[in-house]
């Protein structure tokens, strides 16, 4: 017997992206919290995992926006469940 091909599940995808964005935003936020002040970070060429403080700030901002957008989609797809 041939197996039925499963389609793409947007609810599952949004849940995965919400979780991933949350984890990345949390890690980048912790790194930015422990990072030295801007001038010190620049003078000492401070890096964690190959990214400078400015690059970590960019990652944090980008994934913050992704998180906002995807949370809105997540609420849309799960609105009926939330109301129950």
What are the pLDDT digits (tens) for 25-72?
A: 999 999 999 888 878 877 888 888 988 888 999 999 999 999 999 999
- Tell me how far apart the alpha carbons of residues 81 and 65 are, in angstroms, rounded to a whole number: 25
Q: What is the pTM of this model?
A: 0.75
pLDDT, position 1: 58
pLDDT, position 2: 60
> Is residue 47 within a helix (H) or strand (E), and if so which, with residue range?
strand 47-48
pLDDT tens-digit readout, 16-26: 999 999 999 99
């Amino acid at each position: 017997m041939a197996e039925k091909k499963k389609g793409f599940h947007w609810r599952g995808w949004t849940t995965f992206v919400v979780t991933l964005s949350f984890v990345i935003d949390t890690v980048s936020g912790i790194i930015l919290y422990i990072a030295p002040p801007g001038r010190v970070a620049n003078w000492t060429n401070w890096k964690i995992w190959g990214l400078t403080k400015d690059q970590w700030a960019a990652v944090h901002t980008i994934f913050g926006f992704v998180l906002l957008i995807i949370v809105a989609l997540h609420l849309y797809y799960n609105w009926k469940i939330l109301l129950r």
